[in-house]
A and B are shown apart, each in its own frame.
Chain A
């Protein structure tokens, strides 16, 4: 009733091709963005620092992997390492040139990640599917080895870890311990919105269509004149760029210092699950996936004791942890059985149903 297409006429080609064709959608996204910014001022420290910032960071990484796996069809297990490249590049850049704005370096560090990603994407021309996953696994292990072995990357820190020196933006600390979660959140949110907007235009345009053509059948795509090498490498580069920026955001705006170990293979799987659960080939699915995989356990950790304690069941932290694992696992299986194409597809179905409600045909 409220959400319907009737009466909204498209008179130009561009309005017919817009990202949000319906007025309701445009209002909806405006409200979401407004709420997201408003949360910076009303949300508690815990909500911002432990829930929303990591959620946005993981969403960005999931968008990166989605570009590669969902749109271009190249399976990758190197996400964690590419995030690491971004973080280490950002650290080197911001310590070597402390006067340059840190936001610039966060965005630039993605290019280092992109270069490394393109390099490790080279085998994708010859191998596909699971074999490619194994080749990218090599990237994961090699890069992680570098993070441990090359002390130059951490400026010969004795602790061998990345730390976040104080950096400001317009005089307000953004990176470092004195940065408030509010500023961090605003910076992360803005970067994620801008990069998501860029990605949405990228995947709808010529480049995105090339990726989709390659994903659906690379032979046919080649016959139509798409050059496979460039297209695949571009997918690797763009994907790694997003992952790299996400990695830099993760270390400097979320953790505020980290060991090499946060970029391990588990991180790669974590992001891959987000992409699969959220929906391959969908940007909004990346957000859904990140929400389900990352926020759900936190919510359960808060809700479960609240549910159990009225029954006189006081459960230990580790039981909650086990329950979290079981419930999240069960939910993943549930969602995948009900909708194998991920949460994004569910969202789409829901919107379709809503369009014709209350008179479905």
Chain B
């Protein structure tokens, strides 16, 4: 019977699994990337994974890494599953990672309290726990360039502008289509607060994770309620599903606005009818930037990327590039601050706090005009940067507005309360002891 052999093999494999993982070499910087190219969110995750990977690989190919130190880039597949994400975290923890990017709010939450203990900073770029923007309470967590509360306030401001002033929103009806999870529900308190103050009515249309692709019941309600504007907070196949349903039910596309997560494929799935769909964004699309050209030349053309050439420069790909831009900048800052070549997670945390991407620096990096400037500090781990509105013209995104400033005062108040609440509920939440560096 072959069973004995199978079981012996299994036992051996189990033993091997327990053996220590190979440690990263001394003269390299280990950057793990948590990605998902499988599962229900792969439609969004694949492009982000490609963008993150390719920018860092480009630095390796073009400059030999950062500051002369090669980056060891390793992907860990999470499938957007918390279980696998935590497993990934444990797997990379021993290899001296300088930063982790969970790319899922569900994975970020369990990692937040661990970051300070394991001395590994977390970069949850514009997702995760909004309250972690407060660097004095969450010294190890970063979520630049803006929070969901900022995003919501920008959308309301944009709608107000279109109507000719925020006071004109009185009596209007605004529908909020959101993923029924903490991510989608987060902006609701702010939306309700604004509705009371400005006098518009809010209709909530939650979409459960299992019916992301089938939103007919929500859109039936939309047709009945006839909201003047629709705001969407979705991810993965929910975005495409919503755009398709909106087109089918004949909702006026120019009144359908979204937070920054839909991609080209989502808009394309709506066909010609999706024209006029709007979303917030904070970085450029396309490959016209020198750094993107370098990616094409040094990575994609050499066959080192998993992305096909026409996908390079798409919205979510460039989102991944932006994510890696922050990582690379933090590592470079850390090298400057410490004078070390092979920096550690602790150094990169300091590097992150001193991020200062002004137009001159962006130009030097080959990303002039790619994105708005951003400065992080010890207290502000987010930046609360404005985003602009872009419109789908049927084939590509077109920028249609100047950067919209968030309603900072309101967002600050929400943040304050949320961060305090988190620290209070997690009794024994450590006080910040990390020293603060001056931006160089």
Instruction: Determine whether B435 belongs to the interface, using a CB cutoff of 8 Å to chain A.
Output: no
**Segment of A64-72, A182-190, A260-268 engaged in the interface with chain B:** A260-268
Q: A322 near B14 (CB under 8 angstroms)?
A: no
Output the least CB separation between A347 and chain B (Å). Answer: 10
Q: A157 near B425 (CB under 8 angstroms)?
A: yes
Q: B77 near A317 (CB under 8 angstroms)?
A: yes
Q: Which residues of A contact B35 (CB under 8 A)?
A: 317-318
A346–B3 alpha-carbon span in the complex (Å): 9
Q: Specify which of B38, B110, B116 is in contact with A258 (CB 8 Å cutoff).
A: B110
Q: Specify which of A157, A259, A320 is in contact with B82 (CB 8 Å cutoff).
A: A259
Q: A299 near B13 (CB under 8 angstroms)?
A: yes
Chain B, Cβ-Cβ closest to A294: B83
Q: A46-B94, A262-B82 are in contact. Are A166 and B426 (CB under 8 A)?
A: yes
- Grouping DSSP codes into helix (H, G, I), strand (E, B) and loop, the A interface class, with mixed when no group exceeds half, is helix
Q: A163 near B426 (CB under 8 angstroms)?
A: yes
Q: Which residues of B contact A261 (CB under 8 A)?
A: 82, 106, 181, 209
Q: A50-B86, A50-B87, A54-B83 are in contact. Are A259 and B17 (CB under 8 A)?
A: no
A164–B427 alpha-carbon span in the complex (Å): 9
Instruction: Determine whether A256 belongs to the interface, using a CB cutoff of 8 Å to chain B.
Output: yes
Q: A317 near B75 (CB under 8 angstroms)?
A: yes
Instruction: Determine whether A104 belongs to the interface, using a CB cutoff of 8 Å to chain B.
Output: no
A255–B129 alpha-carbon span in the complex (Å): 16
- Grouping DSSP codes into helix (H, G, I), strand (E, B) and loop, the B interface class, with mixed when no group exceeds half, is helix
Q: Specify which of B3, B17, B93, B112 is in contact with A45 (CB 8 Å cutoff).
A: B93
| Residue of A95, A265, A303, A318 with highest tally of chain B CB at under 10 A | A318
Instruction: Determine whether B203 belongs to the interface, using a CB cutoff of 8 Å to chain A.
Output: no
Chain B, Cβ-Cβ closest to A161: B109
Q: B427 near A163 (CB under 8 angstroms)?
A: no
Q: Which residues of A contact B417 (CB under 8 A)?
A: 158
Binary per-residue interface labels of chain A (37-50) against chain B in the complex, 1 for a CB within 8 Å, 0 otherwise: 00000011111011
Binary per-residue interface labels of chain B (80-116) against chain A in the complex, 1 for a CB within 8 Å, 0 otherwise: 0011001100110110000000000110011011101
Binary per-residue interface labels of chain A (303-331) against chain B in the complex, 1 for a CB within 8 Å, 0 otherwise: 10010000000001110111000000000
Output the least CB separation between B430 and chain A (Å). Answer: 8
A44–B426 alpha-carbon span in the complex (Å): 27
Output the least CB separation between A216 and chain B (Å). Answer: 29
Binary per-residue interface labels of chain B (237-262) against chain A in the complex, 1 for a CB within 8 Å, 0 otherwise: 00000000000000000000000000
Q: Which residues of B contact A302 (CB under 8 A)?
A: 16-17, 21
Q: A47-B17, A320-B77 are in contact. Are A177 and B117 (CB under 8 A)?
A: yes
Output the least CB separation between B81 and chain A (Å). Answer: 9
Output the least CB separation between A353 and chain B (Å). Answer: 9
Instruction: Determine whether A29 belongs to the interface, using a CB cutoff of 8 Å to chain B.
Output: no
Q: B113 near A160 (CB under 8 angstroms)?
A: no
Instruction: Determine whether B363 belongs to the interface, using a CB cutoff of 8 Å to chain A.
Output: no
Instruction: Determine whether A340 belongs to the interface, using a CB cutoff of 8 Å to chain B.
Output: no
Q: B83 near A262 (CB under 8 angstroms)?
A: yes
Output the least CB separation between A49 and chain B (Å). Answer: 5
A47–B93 alpha-carbon span in the complex (Å): 12
Instruction: Determine whether B18 belongs to the interface, using a CB cutoff of 8 Å to chain A.
Output: yes
Q: Which residues of B contact A49 (CB under 8 A)?
A: 90
B residues 414-431 near A (Cβ < 8 Å) are 417-418, 421-422, 425-428
Instruction: Determine whether B182 belongs to the interface, using a CB cutoff of 8 Å to chain A.
Output: yes
Q: B105 near A322 (CB under 8 angstroms)?
A: no
Q: Specify which of B74, B109, B116 is in contact with A257 (CB 8 Å cutoff).
A: B109
Q: Specify which of A157, A176, A258, A321 is in contact with B428 (CB 8 Å cutoff).
A: A176
Q: Which residues of A contact B109 (CB under 8 A)?
A: 159, 161, 163, 257-259
Binary per-residue interface labels of chain B (160-192) against chain A in the complex, 1 for a CB within 8 Å, 0 otherwise: 000000000000000000001110011001000
Q: Which residues of A contact B90 (CB under 8 A)?
A: 45-46, 49-50
A54–B87 alpha-carbon span in the complex (Å): 10
Q: A163-B113, A177-B116 are in contact. Are A318 and B209 (CB under 8 A)?
A: no
Chain B, Cβ-Cβ closest to A155: B425
Q: A51 near B82 (CB under 8 angstroms)?
A: no
Instruction: Determine whether B79 belongs to the interface, using a CB cutoff of 8 Å to chain A.
Output: yes
B residues 21-49 near A (Cβ < 8 Å) are 21, 35, 37-38
Instruction: Determine whether A138 belongs to the interface, using a CB cutoff of 8 Å to chain B.
Output: no
Q: Specify which of A44, A54, A256, A299 is in contact with B113 (CB 8 Å cutoff).
A: A256
Binary per-residue interface labels of chain A (175-211) against chain B in the complex, 1 for a CB within 8 Å, 0 otherwise: 0111000000000000000000000000000000000
Q: Which residues of B contact A157 (CB under 8 A)?
A: 421-422, 425
Instruction: Determine whether A298 belongs to the interface, using a CB cutoff of 8 Å to chain B.
Output: yes
Q: Which residues of A contact B77 (CB under 8 A)?
A: 317-318, 320-321
Instruction: Determine whether A333 belongs to the interface, using a CB cutoff of 8 Å to chain B.
Output: no
Q: Which residues of A contact B79 (CB under 8 A)?
A: 321
Q: B426 near A165 (CB under 8 angstroms)?
A: yes
A148–B210 alpha-carbon span in the complex (Å): 14
A interface list, Cβ under 8 A from B: 43-47, 49-51, 54, 95, 98, 148, 155, 157-161, 163-166, 176-178, 254-262, 264-265, 295-296, 298-299, 302-303, 306, 316-318, 320-322, 338, 346, 350
Q: A50-B91, A318-B38 are in contact. List 11 more A-B contacts (CB 8 A).
A: A148-B180, A155-B425, A158-B421, A158-B422, A255-B82, A256-B114, A259-B181, A299-B14, A306-B16, A320-B77, A321-B38
Cβ contacts A to B, 24 pairs, < 8 Å: A44-B94, A51-B17, A148-B180, A158-B186, A158-B422, A159-B182, A159-B418, A163-B113, A163-B422, A163-B425, A163-B426, A165-B426, A177-B114, A254-B86, A257-B110, A259-B109, A259-B182, A261-B106, A261-B181, A299-B14, A303-B17, A316-B75, A317-B35, A318-B77
